[in-house]
Every structure is written in C-alpha cells, then in structure tokens.
Structure 1
Amino acid sequence: MSPQNSSSDFPPAPGLDPAVSAALKRDDAGLVAAVVQQYDTGEVLMLGWMNDEALHRTLTTGRVTFWSRSRQEYWRKGDSSGHVQWVKSVALDCDGDALLVRVDQVGAACHTGTHTCFDGRELPVLAATDAAS
C-alpha cells in the first residue's frame, strides 16, 4: 500500500483553498481517489483520481475534472463523449484520502458505455453469518 503524503509534499494548486489542500492525504503520485455518485439516487458511478489542480477545476467550473494516470493529463468527463458530470457537491472523507463527488450524470458514466463502471461486474460473495443468530 502506498504511503499517504501530506500537503507539504505537494504544493497547492494556484487558487485551491490552502485549507483544503492541507486536508488532503495523497498517494505517492500526489493523487486522491474520487468516488463519483449520482446525487439523487446515491448510485456509485465510478472512481477517478484528482490532484490539487483537478480538484480546484472541479470545485470552480461545475464539471468534474480528473487526472489521467495512464495519459498523464487532465480530462474533463464528457468533453469527448458528451456524458457530462455536473457537480452538485464535493466532500472530503474523515481521513482526507478520498473525495465523494456527487453529480448529475448525463449519459453513461463508464468509458465502456455502461451506466456505471460497476454494471455487470459483480463478484461472488459468501454470505456472512449473523453473529446474533
């Protein structure tokens, strides 16, 4: 597991609130996981990665921006597909190492064309026994 880095390891993006930047715990690449959820149904749509600049763009433009680990560039969801994510809210988890981005999703959230990145990808789970029974 990657160690979590403090804000002093990564300079804040110009314009990102320094208090927000200080609260982030990043991986070795300076990234924080961003769980994307449909705002009105609670459905989890996808997971992306953000650095300070991607978070700043997300907070200030009303559109979700991620950092692409494979392409090493910013990408705004929907610019090429038309499947836009309109930001409703962003929350930081208690440890500072994950973001919850609540959106109004237009079209498919997944690059494969499915509604969510989790459609049809269920894994077998053994049923847990209830300790109270």
Structure 2
Amino acid sequence: MGPQPFSHDIRVRYQEVDMQRVVFNAHYMAYCDETMAAWVGDAFGWDGTDDEVDWMLVRVEMDWHGSATYGDTLTFEAGVEHWGSSSFRVLFAGSVGDRPVLTARITYVCVEPGTTTKMAVPDLLRATLATVP
C-alpha cells in the first residue's frame, strides 16, 4: 500500500508486549483507534466531547504481515476506503520502517452525538477526511 492521507507514529510500550515478545494482538485495535482519534483531531479539531459528529465501530477486518516488539515505532497510515450513506470504511496500514506489520479495515457508522441512533455521514467528515488514492 502506498502513502496514505494520514500518518501517525506509535512507540510500542513494555506493557503491550506478550510472553512471545511481540505486541499482543488486541493492542493493534487500540493503535488503530489512537490513529483515528489523532487524524480527526488534526482534520477538524475533534476531541470526543461536545462534537457535531460521532461514529461507532461496527466491523473490523485485520491481517497480520509481521510483528512489532518493545521499543519499535509503528507508523500507521490511514485513509477512507469507502463512503456509504451512514457508514465509512477506513484502511489502516501499520509498519515498522519499511516492514509491513498489519493491514486493517474498520467500518464505522455515524451516530447522532450522545446517542447510538444511526445518521447520514455528515458533510464535515466527507470534506475533511481524505480518501485512499
């Protein structure tokens, strides 16, 4: 996968590594979540409180191509791969240097802030989050 619209670095912390000395699989979802929060924070100032837009994760597909360990810097790239009427799918690629570690596709559904009521994708998201080339 080539360069994506957003890039975020995460340094692997000691407590995220399991007995096999690799990042425990569940932490990769947290890394994607951290990348998404950084992206929308940079894109339009989202901070998760009192915002005009909100979304919930509804589907995850993750493939591992390698592993990361304590002290590694994982670079996560992200871009919107698909826009639906009320949902959007983000493609994440994580790597250590030039070495691919994982690819994830996460589908989010837009909800009315403060609720779990589905709503159409707001124009703000479509206008500010770049689509994967």
- TM tier relative to shorter chain: under 0.3
Bigger radius of gyration among the two: 1
Instruction: Say which structure is richer in strand.
Output: 2
Give the TM-score of the pair, scaled to structure 1.
0.27
Give the TM-score of the pair, scaled to structure 2.
0.27
Q: Which structure would you say has the larger RCO, counting Cα contacts within 8 Å and 6 or more residues apart?
A: 2
